[in-house]
């Protein structure tokens, strides 16, 4: 027997899937929508160029999430940002320093940083040494990242993933270094910490647009269109239900 | 090429089975779903071994090349092997000695670090409360209202302040947070679907 939650989710998926497919196909056929400018992505695009100029690395924190938790989507966003920055930095030979709290992200991050080097195994292995697993505990992870931010020669700090209150410890450490700091948070409770410490922030659903804005992947752009459609549909349903409940 | 196709097929099949397990009430699909989730947990546990190898490599390199802070790396590796040794000798993390180690070393260290948050909040608030735009202006106004509404002196200044504070928290703040969560939910579903349909393959080398 299907309960109410399951029914609602099934209905949502049945509506979302065709919209998602049609939007993706539309973008694949070359009908690109105008994406609203998000300053944080523009800054992210320039981060590697600045790092190459200064010869200092970019630190990318993938946060506390992994690929077997309920915040996997946040970690996948972190990985797509890492993929983009790795590809850019591979040509210049300044690989980013990557830290994470969940070891399930370790092989994925190593793959992402190795991939741009292709058959050049020596360079790929050297780059993969920049991937560091710190600790699974939030406080220990924050302490490790604060040490990395303080000790390494860095030009920028990019924090995209799932975080809790410990974000503030790391964000303030980046602030003290006076380096470019881009933060992202999907948790509304962490958003004020990102707002207070980061130069540029990606809040809520903005962070899930990373693949569309940075790499211009068609299915990522298509899913943005589908998300927009679903959001407006939900808003209309809420307004209609409120009106019906008020009038009847 | 074969490994790319195979890993995509495995990921899609397992993902769709777990999704089916959520929607379909069938004993066989339930058992299969549970088995797959348990298998994933076991595989994920092996990632800890990879993590430990990574910690060893990073810190041994640091010690070998005498990088800044190499002494701390020695302390870290010493603590790692000591804890590992105590765990092996006393019968795992549930043993009294391991619990004592956690309670007397790890927990106080964590509490100390998190207590720094109080000071960090003050410096962050100082920076955030500088009016640079219309948005930061609103942030400051509502921040002051909520701060004053939370403390008794606020009610002494104006008895309506706690009422306004409650309204700010219950109406604009809560609706804003719900709006963010709605967007996050849609983003999560879209990310999940891309992986489930093999359009996004972070697991493929």
Range(s) of the domain holding residue B35? 2-67
Cβ atoms of A60 and A97 within 8 Å: the answer is yes
Phi, psi angles (nearest 5°) of residue A166: -65, -10
- Are A53 and A92 in the same domain? yes
User: Does residue B99 lie within any of the structural domains?
Assistant: no
- Are A176 and A122 in the same domain? yes
- Are A223 and A107 in the same domain? no
- CA dist B9 and A17 (Å) reads 19
**Least confident piece of the model among A163-172, B64-73, B124-133:** B124-133
Q: Looking at per-residue confidence, does A78 or B5 come out higher?
A: A78
- Are A81 and A166 in the same domain? yes
- Are A120 and A230 in the same domain? no
Which of B39, B189, B198 should one mutate to test binding to chain A, selecting the residue with the greatest count of A CBs within 10 A? B189
- Are A79 and A184 in the same domain? yes
The CATH number given to whatever domain includes residue A174 is 3.40.50
Range with the largest mean pLDDT of A50-54, B119-123, B178-182: B178-182
* Band (B205; pLDDT cuts 50, 70, 90): low
* Residue finishing a domain among B45, B67, B89: B67
To the nearest whole angstrom, how far is the Cα of B180 from the nearest Cα of chain A?
5
- Arithmetic mean of pLDDT, B151-169: 90
How many domains, chain B?
Answer: 2
Dihedral (Cα; A216, A219, A225, A226), 10-degree rounding? -160
What mean pLDDT is reported for chain B? Answer: 88
To the nearest whole angstrom, how far is the Cα of A46 from the nearest Cα of chain B?
24
Range(s) of the domain holding residue A8? 1-31+218-248
- Arithmetic mean of pLDDT, B135-153: 88
Taking chain A (248 residues) in runs of 10, the rounded mean pLDDT of each run is 81 90 90 89 90 90 89 92 90 88 93 87 88 92 93 92 93 91 92 90 91 90 92 93 92
pLDDT at B199: 85
**Closest CB from A12, A106, A234 relative to B47:** A106
- CA dist A81 and A159 (Å) reads 10
CB contact under 8 A, A103 and B57: no
- CA dist B161 and A25 (Å) reads 53
Cβ atoms of A147 and A59 within 8 Å: the answer is no
- Are A157 and A173 in the same domain? yes
| Complex ipTM value | 0.89
- Are A115 and A10 in the same domain? no
User: Does residue B112 lie within any of the structural domains?
Assistant: no
- Are A142 and A160 in the same domain? yes
User: Does residue B174 lie within any of the structural domains?
Assistant: yes
- Are A17 and A73 in the same domain? no
How many domains, chain A?
Answer: 2
* Band (B100; pLDDT cuts 50, 70, 90): very high
Q: What is the 3-state secondary structure (H, E, C) of chain B?
A: CHHHHHHHHHHHHHHHHHHHHHHCCCHHHHHHHHHHHHHHHHHHHHHHHHHHHHHHHHHHHHHHCCCCCHHHHHHHHHHHHHHHHHHHHHCCCCCHHHHHHHHHHHHHHHHHHHHCHHHHHHHHHHHHCCCCCHHHHHHHHHHHHHHHHHCHHHHHHCCCHHHHHHHHHHHHHHHHHHHHHHHHHHHHHHHHHHHHCCCCCCCCC
Touching B: A residues 165-194, CB under 8 Å: 165-166, 168-169, 171-172, 175, 186, 188, 191-193
User: Does residue B131 lie within any of the structural domains?
Assistant: yes
- Are A1 and A61 in the same domain? no
* Residue finishing a domain among B52, B67, B82: B67
- Arithmetic mean of pLDDT, B178-195: 91
* Band (B188; pLDDT cuts 50, 70, 90): very high
Q: What is the pTM of this model?
A: 0.90
pLDDT at B171: 92
User: Does residue B110 lie within any of the structural domains?
Assistant: no
- Are A144 and A67 in the same domain? yes
């Amino acid at each position: 027997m299907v309960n109410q939650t399951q029914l609602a989710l099934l209905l949502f998926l049945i509506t979302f899937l065709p919209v998602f497919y049609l939007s993706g196909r539309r973008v694949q056929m070359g009908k690109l929508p105008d994406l609203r400018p998000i300053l944080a992505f523009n800054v992210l695009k320039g981060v590697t160029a600045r790092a190459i100029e200064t010869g200092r690395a970019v630190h990318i924190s993938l946060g506390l999430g992994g690929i077997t938790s309920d915040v996997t989507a946040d970690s996948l966003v972190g990985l797509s940002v890492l993929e983009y920055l790795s590809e850019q930095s591979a040509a210049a030979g300044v690989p980013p320093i990557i830290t994470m709290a969940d070891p399930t992200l370790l092989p994925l991050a190593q793959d992402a940083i190795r991939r741009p080097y292709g058959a050049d195994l020596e360079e790929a292995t050297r780059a993969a040494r920049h991937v560091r697993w710190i600790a699974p505990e939030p406080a220990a992870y924050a302490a490790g990242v604060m040490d990395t931010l303080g000790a390494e020669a860095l030009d920028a700090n990019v924090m995209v993933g799932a975080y809790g209150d410990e974000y503030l410890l790391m964000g303030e450490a980046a602030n003290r270094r006076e380096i470019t700091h881009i933060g992202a948070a999907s948790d509304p409770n962490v958003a004020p910490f990102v707002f207070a410490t980061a130069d540029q922030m990606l809040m809520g659903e903005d962070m899930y647009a990373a693949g569309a804005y940075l790499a211009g992947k068609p299915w990522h752009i298509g899913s943005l269109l589908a998300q927009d459609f679903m959001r407006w549909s939900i808003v209309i349903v809420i307004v209609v239900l409120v009106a019906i409940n008020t009038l009847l | 090429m074969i490994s790319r196709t195979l890993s995509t097929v495995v990921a899609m099949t397992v993902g769709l089975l777990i999704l089916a397990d959520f929607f379909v009430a069938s004993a066989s699909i339930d058992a299969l779903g549970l088995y797959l989730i348990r298998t994933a947990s076991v595989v994920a546990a092996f990632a800890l071994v990879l993590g430990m190898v990574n910690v060893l490599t990073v810190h041994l390199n640091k010690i070998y090349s005498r990088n800044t802070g190499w002494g701390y790396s020695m302390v870290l590796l010493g603590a790692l092997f000591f804890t590992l040794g105590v765990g092996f000798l006393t019968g795992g993390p549930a043993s009294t000695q391991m619990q004592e180690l956690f309670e007397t070393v790890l927990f106080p260290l964590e509490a100390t670090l998190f207590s720094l948050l109080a000071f960090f909040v003050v410096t962050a608030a100082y920076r955030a409360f500088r009016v640079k735009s219309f948005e930061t202006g609103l942030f400051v106004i509502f921040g002051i209202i909520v701060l004053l509404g939370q403390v008794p002196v606020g009610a002494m200044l104006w008895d309506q302040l706690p009422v306004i504070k409650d309204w700010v928290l219950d109406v604009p703040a809560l609706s804003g947070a719900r709006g963010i969560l709605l967007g996050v939910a849609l983003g999560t579903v879209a990310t999940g679907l891309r992986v489930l349909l093999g359009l996004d393959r972070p697991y493929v080398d």
